[in-house]
Amino acid sequence: MRRFTALTASAVACAVAAAPAAASPPERFSDVIVQAEPVPAFACADGSLVLQTFTLRRTVTTVTDRDGSLLSRVRQVRIDGTYLREDGARTLPYDARFRRAEDFVAGTNTLTGRIATVRDGEVHAARGGREVHDLGTGEILQQAGRSIADFEAEVCATLT
């Protein structure tokens, strides 16, 4: 019994010594961002710009270690907005509900959910699924669901 206790105590001591600094309690805040003036969203193949206005509601949770180093940041996002042609002649309402998780230890940014759905009585274009990006370069490492290029092309075609 004494030998088992000594081995157990030794194993616990090694595990504690090898553990990284524990995380501090998460910090959380919510806010609303309103973009009432049209700003560029993306460019179409013909060179024209799709503009957007939106209201973005988000809750942001940040986790740091005891030393203050950033470990992760998670955003729960809801957007209600409008895409419009540069000349303002045509508009399309859109909405989005997604989660953005930045993992600063792994160096990834993961988007999951309904990233954008364009509606005008019916669904014209939708983009959802899961995307994993490299935090440093922005390169898409994994993608499941509709591509950004396909979604943008469909919105451009609908606005013309």
Domain boundaries, the chain: 21-159
Give the single-character DSSP code of 146.
-
Integer CA distances (angstroms), 44 to 87, 104, 116, 140, 152, in order: 14, 33, 17, 21, 7
Q: What is the pTM of this model?
A: 0.77
- pLDDT tens, residue by residue, 31-47: 999 999 999 999 999 99
What is the per-residue pLDDT across 3-36, written as a single tens digit (0 to 9) for each? 444 434 444 344 334 445 567 889 999 999 999 9
Say which DSSP state 86 is in.
Answer: T
Cβ distance 81 to 52 under 8 Å?
Answer: yes
3-state helix, strand, coil in the chain (%, to 5): 20, 60, 25
Going by pLDDT thresholds of 50, 70 and 90, the confidence category of residue 148 is confident
